[in-house]
Amino acid sequence: MRAFSSDGQEALLSAITVCGADPESPAWRDLARVLDTAARADPAVIRLWPPNAPGEHPVEAAIRRQLALELCTLAAHDTATRDALAAWLRRHPGPARTPPDPAAAESANVIGGDSVLHGPTVQARDIHGGVHFHPPAPAPASRHPVPRQLPPVAARFIGREADRRGLNLLRAGRAAHSAQVLVVSGLAGVGKTTLATHWLYEHADSFPDGQLYADLGGRATDGEPGPTSPAVVLEAFLVALGASSVPAGIAQRSALWRSMTSGLRLSVLLDSAFTAAQVRPLLIGAPTGLTVVTSRTNLTGLRVDGASVHRLEGLSAESAVELLAVGGGTRVAREPAAAREVVRLCGRLPLTVALASAQLALRPHRSVSALAESLSLGQGAVDGLRVDGEAVMRTALDLSYEILPDESRALYRRMGLLPADRHDLSLLTALAADGDGARDTRHASDIAVHALVEANLLEETGPTTYRFHDLVRPHARRLGEELEDAGRQERTLRCFVDWCLVSAAAAEHILTPSHRLPGHDLPAGTVAPAPLDGAEEALAWLDTYRNGLMGAVRHSAKVGWDFSCWRLTDLIWPLFLRLRPSEMGIEAHRLGLDAARRSGSRQGEGRMLTSGAIGLRNAGRYPEAADWYRQALELAIADHDVRQQAQALSGLGHVGLLDHQLDDARDHFEHALRLRESIGYRRGAALSRRRLGETALAADDLAAATEHLRRAGTELDALGETYEATRVLALLGHVLDRAGDSEGGVGLLRECLTRFRAGDARSEHWEARCLEWLGEAAESRGDHAESIRHYEAARELFRRLSPEDAQRLDDRLRQP
């Protein structure tokens, strides 16, 4: 069905204007009935009735024009509305549509009455009939061009399919009769404007009345950097929509803006918004329009207005490499590892990756490896990627930093000084207090943290856990080093190390209470530890903050805090025992051993030697591990420390077991058992029996292995050693399966698998071992499918924990 033409819309507007002069006229009453008919097709049209008396006020004129537009639009797809509107126009055509008198058309024209001719005239010979002169029809008002103000988008738009789908879902889920606001938030350089613009271009057909754009992060009216006033934006928007005059006050402009956009199918992109208050006066009031806001902050205040927020993250690694190849060409394909490193150093942000791509395009002979090396130095991509000499990423982060409250800026700088990639709220509270004893420090730090999260400078990764984006960390570090004096920097780092010490001590007490080193308790009351509730939470805390804990060990070694260095390494022993980060453990114990020797702590030296040897042993460095154990044994003999002698002997036995020197291993384990029994060390004796059980298993003496493991398990259960008892139970299940008791062995392995996956005994390493043994049990039963399933699950865990074990399972899975 054909819609009314633009001339028809103007004729309708003219007729509405004329008949509205008398609200009691038949034309006005007839038009009300037309509205009733139209409302059956679209009830929203009733909001425009009555359209006020005629006049030149912009609001009134805009409402009448909107009424004419919506009636004509409805007539295009609703027959009843079209017929009612056409009938009304025939009866009340308005001044520009006066129909000719049919009777007069059939007679000659006559000049009569009081007719007067003005201007040039034409005299004819004979004139018969009545001659009528009509004033020329007014020229139709020129229609203002439909605004299409969106900025252009790049020819290449890579990735973001999931984000576009997310925006589509948010748009589709809006309430039918409410205005829609979508906020796209994220870190500077993450591509918010590009995504929003591209998405709005994709949906341009949905907004035939126009697309408006404003940069809210431009310059204030005084020319200084800062947010653009909404009054300035409203003036531009109203002019773009054809307002003949714009009110002076922002409230009046906002009211006119809502009136003029009422019913318009219009999209508005408000780019780089600072606050919710800056956006509110610019919101469209009708459900037919859409407002999209981009901001470096989450604009939480707009959620009160019903806004939906889509937080934008960096590109996927694959999309980032594809973007890098735009300028890098085939060099990117030739150096895939270097390309992945470049995009990692760029934080996978489109802005920084595009700048890196441009550098490769500018220097066609430069390798991707050379670019990666360059970006790994100094401040990296934050300073190294420039446009016209300006470090654009640093400038953008500087702006985000400047608008923070003072407390948040101070916390941002101090966090930047820490050698950590995760931050706990208890740590941030300690940093905010800075030893001043202020009350309500936790509440104040929570407010400061909230401002950083709101600004997308800090990401919340758990209930009380936060992290910096990879490109934000060097920016925060630079500000901390430049703006905090030396004393403040030292106090901040001391606070961090103390927090690591007391929190690690709390985790050790929960996970391995028998590992406690008497006489080395930490002073109470310096810093509050992280609150840990139970073994699972304690182990998760060690896993989450492992890099920060290692950073504290390195910093302590660097600045000569020797006690803190070796003591922290000793306290995080449950991390090395359960999660097995071998290389980290070896490094920490090397640093700790040197620190213990510098500080003259023989107990610390012995602990570092025996614990560090375990890391060397787990990494397959058997000769070096045996050397550390021998040094520990000599030290313990000189100090008459029987317990440490047994520990060193047990370690030497384990190296022998792994190196298939079974006789030597058995001798060392039996010697350690005698020493432990002599001093009443029940836990140590049970662990020695466990090792003797493993040695018997390696010698295929399954009966002896069963006996040793049963005794060890019973003793550890009685001592409440859940983790160690579960390890022994898993070994016993494997031995029983090997001995022919498949049902009993598999039952124990499945029980242990459940324990290792959660709770006090959680351990991914032992989870993988149970899965491998269950695979062997299934294979011995001839259940090939189940054995493959268990082997593959074990391999996936070992890939992160022990590449050698993963390779062994790979070889096993390749066998026919």
* Helix (H) and strand (E) counts in the chain: 38, 8
Closest CA relative to residue 746, chosen from 773, 724, 722, 764: 773
Residue 792 in 3-state DSSP? helix
Count of C-beta atoms within a 10 Å radius of residue 326: 18
Report the alpha-carbon distance of residue 573 to residue 577 in Å, rounded. Answer: 6
Helix H or strand E encompassing 733:
helix 722-738
Over residues 19-69, the pLDDT tens digits come to: 766 666 777 777 877 877 777 777 667 767 776 544 445 446 667 777 777
- Please say whether the beta carbons of 178 and 225 come within 8 A: no
Count of C-beta atoms within a 10 Å radius of residue 770: 29
Report the alpha-carbon distance of residue 24 to residue 13 in Å, rounded. Answer: 18
Has residue 132 got a pLDDT over 60?
Answer: no
Over residues 744-763, the pLDDT tens digits come to: 999 999 999 999 998 889 89
The beta-strand segments (E) located in 647-697 are: none
Residue 534 in 3-state DSSP? coil
- Please say whether the beta carbons of 346 and 376 come within 8 A: no
- How far apart are the two ends of the chain, measured CA to CA in Å? 71
Closest CA relative to residue 384, chosen from 407, 352, 412: 352
Has residue 516 got a pLDDT over 80?
Answer: yes
What CA–CA distances, in Å, run from 219 to 214, 223, 325?
A: 12, 6, 35
- Indicate the pLDDT class of residue 103, thresholds 50, 70 and 90: very low
How much is the average pLDDT of 455-462? Answer: 91
Count of C-beta atoms within a 10 Å radius of residue 257: 26
Count of C-beta atoms within a 10 Å radius of residue 454: 19
DSSP of 1-56, one letter per residue?
-PPPPHHHHHHHHHHHHHHTT-TTSHHHHHHHHHHHHHHHH-GGGGGG-S--S--S
**pLDDT at residue 601 in the model:** 96
- How are beta strands 465-468 and 423-424 bridged, if at all? antiparallel
Has residue 464 got a pLDDT over 50?
Answer: yes
Which ranges of 403-485 does DSSP label H, i.e. alpha helix?
406-417, 425-433, 441-454, 472-483
SS3 sequence, 492-512?
A: HHHHHHHHHHHHHHHHHHHHC
DSSP of 198-216, one letter per residue?
HHHHHTGGG-TT-EEEEET
**pLDDT at residue 36 in the model:** 74
Q: In the chain, what percentage of residues exceed pLDDT 90?
A: 63
**pLDDT at residue 25 in the model:** 76
**pLDDT at residue 216 in the model:** 92
What CA–CA distances, in Å, run from 106 to 34, 113, 702?
A: 34, 20, 124
Has residue 108 got a pLDDT over 60?
Answer: no
**pLDDT at residue 531 in the model:** 93
Closest CA relative to residue 161, chosen from 394, 4, 275, 322: 322
**pLDDT at residue 26 in the model:** 76
**pLDDT at residue 128 in the model:** 53
Report the alpha-carbon distance of residue 276 to residue 279 in Å, rounded. Answer: 5
Q: Topology of domain 161-311, per CATH? A: Rossmann fold (3.40.50)
**pLDDT at residue 434 in the model:** 63
Report the alpha-carbon distance of residue 213 to residue 237 in Å, rounded. Answer: 8
**pLDDT at residue 437 in the model:** 47
Question: Is there a cis peptide before residue 350, judged by omega within 30 degrees of 0?
Answer: no
- Please say whether the beta carbons of 431 and 500 come within 8 A: no
Report the alpha-carbon distance of residue 513 to residue 722 in Å, rounded. Answer: 12
- Indicate the pLDDT class of residue 514, thresholds 50, 70 and 90: confident
Cα angle 75-79-82, degrees, rounded to a multiple of 5: 40
How much is the average pLDDT of 501-512? Answer: 95
DSSP of 276-342, one letter per residue?
HHHHGGG---STT-EEEEEESS--GGGGGGT-EEEE--PPPHHHHHHHHHHHHTHHHHH-HHHHHHH
Highest mean pLDDT pick, 105-114, 296-305, 590-599: 590-599
> What backbone phi and psi angles, to 5 degrees, belong to 184?
-105, 110
Amino acid type, 409? R
- Indicate the pLDDT class of residue 102, thresholds 50, 70 and 90: very low
Has residue 131 got a pLDDT over 70?
Answer: no
Report the alpha-carbon distance of residue 630 to residue 459 in Å, rounded. Answer: 47
Closest CA relative to residue 709, chosen from 760, 72, 582, 717: 717
Cα angle 674-677-678, degrees, rounded to a multiple of 5: 85
Report the alpha-carbon distance of residue 614 to residue 726 in Å, rounded. Answer: 20
Residues of the chain with CATH 3.40.50.300: 161-311
Over residues 795-816, the pLDDT tens digits come to: 999 998 888 899 999 998 988 7
What CA–CA distances, in Å, run from 520 to 515, 523, 772, 793?
A: 12, 9, 40, 42
**Could you tell me which residues come within 8 angstroms of residue 337 by beta carbon, excluding any fewer than 6 positions away?**
none
SS3 sequence, 235-286?
A: HHHHHHCCCCCCCCCHHHHHHHHHHHHCCCCCEEEEEEECCHHHHHHHCCCC
Amino acid type, 239? V
Over residues 431-440, the pLDDT tens digits come to: 887 644 444 6
Has residue 223 got a pLDDT over 70?
Answer: no
- Please say whether the beta carbons of 38 and 78 come within 8 A: yes
